[in-house]
Amino acid sequence: MTDTAMPQRRELISPKMLPYVLSLPALLVCIGILIPFVTAIYYSLQKYRMSQPWNRGMNWGENYLKFLSDPDFWNTLKVSLVYAGSTVVLELLLGLAIALLLRKRTPVNNFISIMLLMPLMTAPALAALMFKLMTNPNFGILSYFMQVLGFSDFRWGSSPDTALFTVVLVDVWVYTPFMMILLLAGLRSLPTQPFEAAALDGVPRLEQFWRITLPMLMPYILTAALFRLLDSIQQFDIIYAMTQGGPGDTLMVFQVEAYLNFFQSTNVGRSTALLLILWAITYVLSNIFVKNWLRLRERARGGA
């Protein structure tokens, strides 16, 4: 189809339209997904329970107004923020520590960093299932360890006191490698001259860390932390697979609460209003994230 006989032959698509034609299919597929988004806004302004179709009608902002005096909503907000905050801080500290330990490019370090990727590649829902098996009161190995340590009544996910700890533990197990791998890539891409100069001047290593490593690594830390925060505030898989939001309402984060509202109490209006509040939070976060992410991306492309 490409004979060289006619160098200036006309093409099927004019060059000006070409980029649009190329990106149109991807865009169309996604517009199909934008329609439900608009529908969700519409539903959130309605009194709408699937079990009471006769009682449906617009109530404008009432679903949102009700949240102000709804203790369940404030509980959801609190649990989501505590969950997201604690997972991101723990994973950041642990991930940074591991990255610093593995910084040198030795065969052993490379091997360990590859091994540590395995939890990250495990489906979070299945990771929760694995921990559920390991914390089973009858035969779970972690329950046994706790008994040996003297906590004979440590009930993991099934007690309101330890449920949050249990899901945070699973989250840390799955996602710390994410922080580790990004920060390790960042650490290894830093220029070596400042460190050599500091070593020559006899700067103590702790001071090197605070004065050189940390500031230079900051763009990576920010991007990785924001990335995790965006995912963590929406966590569903781990919590749903572990306790379905229970016991009671201890782990009712946004998406779990919305899911149960929709499918169990069939309250579509409240469910979509909850999700839109979550969306507003992630929208703000993702704008901050994209700015940092773009800066990092340009640096990676330019520096390569």
Site for other proteins in 236-255 (CB under 8 A): 236-237, 240-241, 254-255
Q: Considering beta carbons, is residue 69 or 206 the nearer one to other proteins?
A: 206
Among 75, 136, 158, 159, binds other proteins (CB under 8 A): 136
- Write down the least CB distance from residue 151 to other proteins, Å: 16
Residue 139 binds other proteins (CB under 8 A): yes
- Write down the least CB distance from residue 197 to other proteins, Å: 13
Residue 230 binds other proteins (CB under 8 A): yes
Q: Considering beta carbons, is residue 25 or 69 the nearer one to other proteins?
A: 25
Task: Please give the structure tokens belonging to residue 93.
Answer: 């500290």
Site for other proteins in 18-37 (CB under 8 A): 18-20, 22-23, 25-27, 29-30, 32-33, 35-37
Among 65, 114, 214, 218, binds other proteins (CB under 8 A): 114
Residue 206 binds other proteins (CB under 8 A): no
Stretch that binds other proteins, among 56-64, 160-168, 207-215, 270-278 (CB under 8 A): 270-278
**CA distance linking residue 135 with residue 129, whole number of Å:** 10
Residue 91 binds other proteins (CB under 8 A): no
- Write down the least CB distance from residue 123 to other proteins, Å: 4
Q: Considering beta carbons, is residue 69 or 225 the nearer one to other proteins?
A: 225
Among 64, 67, 144, 195, binds other proteins (CB under 8 A): 144
Residue 90 binds other proteins (CB under 8 A): no
**Would you say 57 and 45 are in contact if contact means Cβ atoms under 8 Å apart?**
no
Residue 300 binds other proteins (CB under 8 A): yes
DSSP codes, the chain: ---TT-TTPPPSS-TTTHHHHHHHHHHHHHHHHHHHHHHHHHHHTEE-BTT-GGG-EE-TTHHHHHHHT-HHHHHHHHHHHHHHHHHHHHHHHHHHHHHHHT-S--HHHHHHHHHTHHHHHS-HHHHHHHHHHHT-TTT-HHHHHHHHTT-TT--GGGSTTTHHHHHHHHHHHHHHHHHHHHHHHHHHHS-SHHHHHHHHTT--HHHHIIIIIHHHHHHHHHHHHHHHHHHHTT--HHHHHHHTT-STTTT--HHHHHHHHHHTS-BHHHHHHHHHHHHHHHHHHHHHHHHHHHHHHHHHHHH-
- Write down the least CB distance from residue 99 to other proteins, Å: 11
Residue with tokens 């991101």: 88
- Write down the least CB distance from residue 75 to other proteins, Å: 18
- Write down the least CB distance from residue 91 to other proteins, Å: 12
Stretch that binds other proteins, among 56-64, 81-89, 109-117, 155-163 (CB under 8 A): 109-117
Residue 152 binds other proteins (CB under 8 A): no
Give whole-number Cα distances, 37 to 26, 45, 249, 259, in Å. Answer: 17, 13, 27, 16
